Structure 1
Amino acid sequence: MDKIRIKKLEVFAKHGVFPEENVLGQKFVISATLHVNTRQAGCTDDLAQSINYGEVCQFIKALTEDNVFKLLETLAEKLAQGLLLQFPKIAKIDILIEKPWAPIGLPLETASVEISRGWHTAYIALGSNMGDKKDHLDTAVKTLNSREDSSVTAISDYLVTPPYGVLNQDDFLNGALALHTLLPPEELLDVLQGIEANAHRERIIRWGPRTLDLDILLYDDLVLDTPTLHIPHIEMHRRDFVLIPLAQIAPWVRHPVLGETVEALCKQVTP
Structure 2
Amino acid sequence: MRPFFPPKFPHTPATDVAGEVVEVGKGVQNFKPGDKVVAYLTLANGGGLAEFVTASERLTVARPPEVSAAQGAGLPIAGLTALQALTQAAGLKLDGSGQKKNILITAASGGVGHYAVQLAKLGNTHVTATCGARNIEFIKSLGADEVLDYKTPEGAALNSPSGRKYDVAVHCAITGIPWSTFKPNLSANGKVINITPGPSTWAAIAQNTLTFSKKQLVPMFMSAKSENLDYLVKLVKEGKLKTVIDSKHPLSKAEDAWAKSIDGHATGKIIVEP
TM-score with structure 1 setting the length: 0.31
Larger radius of gyration: 1
Structure with larger RCO (C-alpha < 8 A, sep 6+): 2
